[in-house]
Amino acid sequence: MKISLRAGERIYINGAVLRVDRKVSLELVNDVMFLLEGQVMQASDATTALRQLYFIVQLMLINPTDIRDASALYAQHHSALVAVCESREMLEGLAAADELVETTRYFEALKRIRALFPVEQAILAGAATDSPSEAA
């Protein structure tokens, strides 16, 4: 896999953070877990339940040598989301993401979770319009 980075951009590879000082192309010649800087969610951006799940999986990908705590947190958070979710699309997406996490395909799981962000936003927007204060 070939990746091009701009000057100052970061890439997270198997727990290491690399920052390049000039435009560079990298060729990853073996199987590694990586995230580009633009795909990394900051803790302050994990403002919804689904974004928090994304952040937890991201931790598992960024630090693959120590995922025990993150795995336990993921299992709890995922179960809680499934328990309260009524949207079929959301439940199917969470199940697919869970299968990917179980097989340590964290990058693909992140993509699957990220695809659910608009669904969650629509659910939250619907909940906001159904609040008692707005019905009065």
The pTM of the full predicted model, rounded to 2 decimals, is 0.82
Q: Residue 135 falls within a domain, yes or no?
A: no
Measuring CA to CA, how many Å separate 110 from each of 10, 36, 43, 59?
18, 12, 15, 11
Give the single-character DSSP code of 44: G
Over the chain (136 residues), the average pLDDT of each successive run of 10 is: 90 87 90 83 94 95 86 96 94 97 94 96 78 46
Q: Which amino acid is at 85?
A: C
Same domain, 15 and 68: no
Note whether 70 and 103 are same-domain residues.
yes
Contact by Cβ (8 Å): 100, 106:
yes
The confidence score (pLDDT) of residue 82 equals 96
Long-range contacts of 68-75, Cβ-Cβ distance < 8 Å, separation of 24 or more: 74/101
Per-residue pLDDT at 30: 85
Q: What range defines the domain where residue 88 resides?
A: 41-129
Q: Do the domain assignments include residue 59?
A: yes
User: What pLDDT score does 135 carry?
Assistant: 44
User: H/E element holding 83?
Assistant: helix 68-84
Q: Are residues 99 and 35 in the same domain?
A: no
Same domain for 21 and 74, yes or no, is no
In a domain, 136, yes or no: no
